[in-house]
Structure 1
Amino acid sequence: MFMDRLKDKIAIVTGSTSGIGIGIAKLYAAEGAKVVICGRREEKGQAVVDNITKEGGESSYHFFDITNTNSIEKLIDDTAEKYGKIDILVNNAANVALKDGNIDELTIDMWDAIFESDLRGTFYATKCVIPYLQKNENGGSIINIGSMASCGGDLGSTAYACAKSGVDMFTQYTALQYGKDNIRCNCVRPGLIVTPENEANVPEVLRNIFLNNIMVNRYGGPEDIGHMCVYLASDESEYVTGQIVNVDGGLNSHVSTSAQFRELNSRTW
């Protein structure tokens, strides 16, 4: 199954002490990359490193706070010093505030906190890594983890959706401005991803709503996002940049009334 598609590459996966980040990091290591696990929870981060090492991969842990610019700088600089280069940055760390509220319910502090982690953090980590990627003969790959929340309006998640929409546009600006340096930048927008951390908190009624609207017969797992991120980090995707890729089981690829008509066993009104 694994083919060393990322052999000898140095990868940073932010927010890789849980959920989607772990899924990405494990697949990267399995494909031959040396992976930096980073987040605020050292015990959980070291557990991921130990698991990767047990499976024959190479990994290390680095403390990381997406809201702290000094922490971001230190992560990037220390990684380059330790391994001699950086090839891949996955901007996965974010404040997943899916229930942040409607516009009239949000405070300035709530809005700023979400933008600080979900958009400003992605911007600054990218800014810090670009000089290192420019030193590489083959450039490198930046992968931003977006969200299906940016695909259209919803009844809540206002600040989160707006921040993730900013990530979409930031992806395209990065790709345009640094493509001639062989630096690629793409965005992956996950659909409903059930992880070991959130599984108990995803009620059955919510799962059923999604399953009724997803084109396939299941919701997603971290490995679904991980496989796309492996491709976007590998040399196989060297002609792919500036793209916003939905990995959502087809959730956002049909008209919004399809699920209801399916329940009626009807194609139209």
Structure 2
Amino acid sequence: MDLQLAEGIAVVTGAGSGIGRATAKYLAAEGVKVVLLDIDLEAAEQNAREISTEGGQAAAIRVDLSDENSTGEAIAEAAATFGGIDYLVLCAGISTLFGKGVDEIGAAAWDREFGVNVRGQWLPVKFALPSLRASSRAAAISIVASDSALFAAPLNTAYEATKGAVLMLTKGLAVDLRPDNIRVNCVCPSVVDTPQSRAALGIVEGGYANVDYPVHSPEDIARYLTLLISPVTATINGHPLVADFGYSAQSNFPA
């Protein structure tokens, strides 16, 4: 299927590792010019070099998405890199408080989780809007949320609260930006094999090879994020795409 993305310009956050890294590569393979944003500039630059070696067009910029000035400067530089922004794919996020009860979390740690996971999704949109509105293509935004936005697990309240906020941010943006013909959707995956999830869950030796639950690859989620910014999904807007191997479809009825 032709996703009709070739020659477009995308900004991908969290593009130095995990889902963001995979998404930048996937977009570049579709012929998209990609600007990679990450707080770890070295990782983003390495990914940009790999994309360039594979025939794509990519550039890397350092950003702290929890900081308004840093984000504004990075988005301005990103827009200047290839001459605009058509697509925004927001993959940056952290999970540092898994396993802690709400009475064990300090306010600074709580605020940091919200700073990256919520403010870090809003600020890029705020600063990219002039470029998205000026795009001659069907501008779109896709965001990584989580099935934690919909279902709670023990000792994960802070992360769940941030992802619930991202889900409603998606819906609110979709409504507000509809007059501009800018679509906004998010993907809500269950566990994805990334450095972040391994660290949060204490997965070390052997990775997820021996766990008794299914796990996504970053490339799985990269495909969904890419599909949701594609014109082929033009009638989908404000939608949380749940990717959880169908587990949420099952009743807990004991029979």
Tell whether the structures are fold-level matches, with TM greater than 0.5: yes
1:188 counterpart letter in structure 2? V
- Name the CA distance, whole Å, in 1 between partners of 2:211 and 2:198: 15
The answer to which of 190-199 and 73-82 deviates more is: 190-199
- Name the CA distance, whole Å, in 1 between partners of 2:252 and 2:210: 16
CA deviation digits over 1:36-62, x for unaligned, max 9?
Answer: 111122221111011111211111111
Residues 182 and 210 of structure 1, relative CA distance in 2, 3 Å threshold: farther
TM-score (norm 2): 0.90
Paired residues of 2:138 and 2:231 also in contact (CA < 8 A): no
TM-score (norm 1): 0.86
CA deviation digits over 1:110-162, x for unaligned, max 9?
Answer: 21111111111111111111121111244411111101212222211211110
Residues 25 and 256 of structure 1, relative CA distance in 2, 3 Å threshold: farther
Paired residues of 1:5 and 1:32 also in contact (CA < 8 A): no
Give unpaired runs (5+ residues) of structure 2: none
Paired residues of 1:95 and 1:117 also in contact (CA < 8 A): yes
2:229 counterpart letter in structure 1? A
The reply on whether 1:155 has 2:151 as its aligned counterpart is no
The reply on whether 1:220 has 2:216 as its aligned counterpart is yes
Give unpaired runs (5+ residues) of structure 1: 212-217, 262-267
- Name the CA distance, whole Å, in 2 between partners of 1:231 and 1:87: 14
1:234 offset after TM fit, Å?
A: 1.1
1:205 offset after TM fit, Å?
A: 11
CA deviation digits over 1:21-45, x for unaligned, max 9?
Answer: 1111110000010011111222211
Q: Identify the match of residue 253 of structure 1 among 246, 249, 255.
A: 249
What is the CA RMSD across the aligned residues, in angstroms?
2.3
The reply on whether 1:70 has 2:69 as its aligned counterpart is yes
- Name the CA distance, whole Å, in 1 between partners of 2:121 and 2:42: 24
Matches within 5 A, 1:107-122: 107-122=106-121
Paired residues of 1:147 and 1:188 also in contact (CA < 8 A): yes
The reply on whether 1:176 has 2:175 as its aligned counterpart is yes
2:107 counterpart letter in structure 1? I
SS at match of 1:252: helix
Q: Which residue in the other structure is 1:44 paired with?
A: 43
- Aligned-residue sequence identity (percent) comes to 31
The answer to which of 193-202 and 92-101 deviates more is: 193-202
CA deviation digits over 1:37-92, x for unaligned, max 9?
Answer: 11122221111011111211111111111121111111211121222210111111
Matched positions, count: 252
Paired residues of 1:194 and 1:220 also in contact (CA < 8 A): yes
Residues 63 and 121 of structure 1, relative CA distance in 2, 3 Å threshold: same
SS at match of 2:248: coil
Paired residues of 2:13 and 2:38 also in contact (CA < 8 A): yes
Q: Which residue in the other structure is 1:214 paired with?
A: none
CA deviation digits over 1:235-265, x for unaligned, max 9?
Answer: 10111110001122223222246xxx7xxxx
- Name the CA distance, whole Å, in 1 between partners of 2:197 and 2:116: 20
Flag as ranges the 4+ runs of structure 1 deviating above 3 A. 2-5, 195-201, 203-210
2:6 counterpart letter in structure 1? K
